[in-house]
Structure 1
Amino acid sequence: MTFPLPYTSATAGSLNPAPSVLKSRIESIDVLRGLIMVIMALDHTRDFFHAQANIDDPLNLDTTTPVLYATRWITHFCAPTFALLSGTSIYLQGLRKSRSELSMFLLKRGLWLIVAEVLLIVPVDTFTLFNTITLVVFWSLGISMVFMAGLTWLPFRAILSIGLAIVLGHNLLDAVEQAPGFRSVFWWALFHGGGNRVFDYAPGRAIVVLYPFLPWLGLMILGYCLGRLFEPAVAATKRQQWLVYLGAGAIGLFVGLRLLNNYGDPFPWSVQKDGLTTLFSFLKVHKYPPSLLYMCITVGPGLLGLALLENVHNRVTGVLRTYGRTAFFYYTIHFFVLHTLRMIVFFAAGHSMTDADKALQTIPMRFVLPGDGVYNLGVVYLIWIAVVASLYPLCRWFDAYKTTHKAQWWLSYL
């Protein structure tokens, strides 16, 4: 079986078939993106409200519980699958735009996402401006789009080769980072270091790099190449078959390399006190930056989900599609809602503005003091469900607004 190559000799040199060939959005992509948005909110709700959120790692094998571990681990699927789908959306945009139009759009949208991270997401997340600039999801997606603006001019096979080289090979840099005396300077942290590196840029002000761009760029490139499966000329059964093969292959690569325990993740697994904890060690893979094994075990099931969701159409997928079509809007609003709720809880517990100033010094203005959490996971889940449900009417309104105001150019950046 060969990878679908629907281009004819007449169109092989062009990124863009006739503009009318892609008549509508791919619903399964929006549904999966919406599911990611919902799961992602669980992790952020835990950050704000769980009793242990700011004093221990939920994946700490010595202190975690099965429910806490699963609550954190399941959210690992969100960022890599979203980056992959972003690349796929770029490819599908290319079916409607000329190459120069696509390149310019990616450049402008990428720069906008970087600006949005600093001027919109960080203030909503921390209720401060420029005190602590955290470079997370939008930064990594934005800078990756800036690179994609140039990469989309290359032949398809060259783009695929670059993406595979980054994803499969970037863990070779682990040896550099683990060498004695290695120190991650700012530019290296942006490139590959990540891992909550803090860099002071002025007295009392710092930049925190959580998401270095290289691995996320690799995922976006592979997502772009995955877009070929969603061309109108590819039969749905063929596409679903390939998605199953690719998803199962990614999971198989994870299992094989993880068993070898010498490449693909900077931290090897080990036998623990019991079978379940050993499984937790096996599945505990590195996110900052995302290792090859992290990407395999998260993107693999995501690809299987894409194959499954294409044939599922019901009320639940309709709700998820709405969240997926308004991802930027939803992401921004959900942080604001969670942080406002946390602020209310903070002051309702009897804390003062002096306590809030202390919180600013420890966990940037999240209205949380070390050990200050009072909620167990059950309450966290209830808050999560309530917040996600409360955002649905807003997302539905915004989705309808975008649909009926397509002529407004700025909506394509949200």
Structure 2
Amino acid sequence: MIIDKSPLSKRILSIDILRGLVMIIMALDHTRDFFHIGAMTGDPLDPETTTGVLFFTRWITHFCAPTFVFLSGLSAYLSAQSKTRAAASAFLLKRGLWLVAVEIIIISLGLTFNPFYNLIILQVIWAIGCSMIFLALASRISYKTVLVTGLILVFGHNVFNLLHIPTDATTGMLLKVFFTSFGTVIPLPNNHLIGVFYAILPWTGVMFVGYGVGAWYNKNYDREKRRRNLLIVGSLTVFLFLFLRFINIYGDPVPRKEHYDFFKNLLTFFNVSKYPPSLQYISMTLGPAMLFLAFTENINNWFTRISSVYGAVPFFYYVIHFYLLHTILVVVFIATGYTSNQIVQIPFWFRPTDFGFNLTIVYLIWLAVVASLYLPCRWFKKYKETHKQWWLSYV
């Protein structure tokens, strides 16, 4: 196992490599949201209207959120090994609350550029923050409690797709926010809205499972046994996805449709629900993620070294890339002749429905943004390795 032996850090590079790769890919989806001509008017995953390239551009980013949440749980386990159980729980609680606040105050602003916060968007950072709060409570009980709860949530939350959701407004809203939400909008006074796009508990299950896998990364755990575990569990998870997708009975809220077209059937097969993350979606994404971890423990080349830089400072990268993308959007908005009365848009200011470019331009902007963030991320990585300020553990 390759380990970064920096003065104040002893990082597992295979984890940073995978996390860095998903952070790079993640920026592609956000670039598409801001700059693709059809992002506000079409569904890139709809087999009836999409193209192969557009479908892949959206589909490949499905691997980002579950892998990131899974690795957050794994990292939480590793961090807890240097603390008492009470101290580790307290840190997770504070960091979870901090992440929820960051999602509301910093990420929502970066996404919308709306200084009045008329729309607060709750996405992956919100889900991670809430999951960390639950992890703080469950980890105080035992490691086994976390793992078993995580497996129950991952394998069982799609049961709610088979049940009748209560019509009572409060109960129905709570079930949506915790289990089934996609685009659940909560109205607030004075023309303000909260958009809940990530249901909490399915993502909590992913984090808890990551925490459970963290035990394989204990310093005394046999490296070959860890690699074998990752290969076996990763392969079985991929097989589970294929099995559930073929039988088409359980594990996704929208049953797979058959088309009289091989290409459409192929797209439909891989078009599983992210909102909320279905069992089929989690299996499709986390299976390859675990296989990737198994195969990259002993790899050290130019790409892994670059990827690990982004993976070592994911929060820093995540926040900065939104503000950079939206600033570029403002510049292009002005440069292409749009006027001030077209600034206010829902959900993103400076992003009219008819604005945008083809995928080639989107990919060029994405590559430019990722490349421009390399040096800042490398600087911050070195700063974290050589400084001890308390706040660094939160970013």
User: With structure 2 as the length reference, what TM-score do the two structures score?
Assistant: 0.95
Q: Which residue in 1 is equivalent to 2:364?
A: 382
The Cα offsets for residues 215-251 of structure 1, whole Å up to 9 and x where unpaired, read as 0000000000001111112222111111011111111
Residue number in structure 2 paired with 1:18: none
The Cα shift of 1:275 comes to 1.2
Tell me the residue number matched to 1:90: 76
Structure 2: stretches of 5+ with no match in the other structure: 1-7
1:274 corresponds to which letter in structure 2?
Answer: D
Match of 2:386 among 404, 409, 412: 404
Following TM superposition, by how much is the alpha carbon of 1:181 offset from its aligned partner in structure 2, in angstroms? Answer: 5.9
Structure 1 residue 364, shift from structure 2 partner: 3.1
**Equivalent position to 1:217, from 183, 194, 204:** 204
Name the counterpart of 1:57: 43
Match of 1:227 in 2: 214
1:372 shift after superposition = 2.1
Q: Over aligned residue pairs, what C-alpha RMSD do you find?
A: 1.6
Deviation by residue 1:203-223 (Cα, 9 ceiling, x = unmatched): 321000000110000000000
Corresponding residue of 1:243: 230
1:43 alignment partner AA? D
The aligned residue for residue 348 of structure 2 is 364
- Whole-angstrom CA distance in 2 between matches of 1:202 and 1:223: 38
Match of 2:156 in 1: 169
Contact 1:176–1:182 under 8 Å retained in 2: no
Does residue 140 of the first structure (1) align with residue 127 of the second (2)? yes
Q: Deviations over 1:96-142 (max 9, x none)?
A: 11101100100000000000001111111111242100110111000
Give distance in 1, aligned partners of 2:316 and 2:224: 33
Secondary structure at 1:153's aligned position in 2?
helix
* Contact map agreement 1:45 1:383 (CA 8 A) in 2: yes
Q: Secondary structure at the match of 1:233?
A: coil
Pair 1:336 & 2:323 matched: yes
Q: Which amino acid aligns with 1:408?
A: Q
Quote the offset at 1:270 in angstroms: 2.0
Is the CA contact (8 Å cut-off) linking 1:132 and 1:364 kept in structure 2? no
1:128 aligns with 2:114: yes
Structure 1 counterpart of 2:347, one-letter code: I
Q: Matches of residues 168-207 of structure 1 in structure 2 within 5 Å?
A: 168-176=155-163, 185-207=172-194
How many pairs are equivalent? 386
Give the Cα–Cα distance (whole angstroms) in 1 for the partners of residues 10 and 312 of structure 2: 13
The one-letter amino acid of 2:355's match is: D
Deviation at 1:187, TM superposition (A): 2.5
Which amino acid in 1 is paired with 2:362?
Answer: V
Q: Does 1:30 pair with 2:16?
A: yes
Amino acid at match of 1:99: R
Matched, 1:255 2:237: no
CA distance change for structure 1 residues 35 and 387 in 2, over 3 Å: closer, same or farther?
Answer: same
By how many angstroms is 1:387 displaced?
0.4
On the 8 A contact 2:19/2:308 being kept in 1, the answer is yes
Q: Is the 8 A contact 2:234 2:286 kept in 1?
A: yes
CA contact (8 A) 2:233 2:290 kept: yes
Q: Is the 8 A contact 1:87 1:220 kept in 2?
A: yes
2:70 counterpart of 1:70: no
> Matches of 1:181 and 1:61 in 2, distance apart?
33
Corresponding letter in the other structure for 2:251:
G
Distance 2:63 2:125 in 1: 16
Q: How much does 1:88 deviate?
A: 0.5
The yes-or-no answer on 1:117 pairing with 2:117 is no
- Alpha-carbon distance between aligned partners in 2 of 1:157 and 1:408, rounded to the nearest angstrom: 33
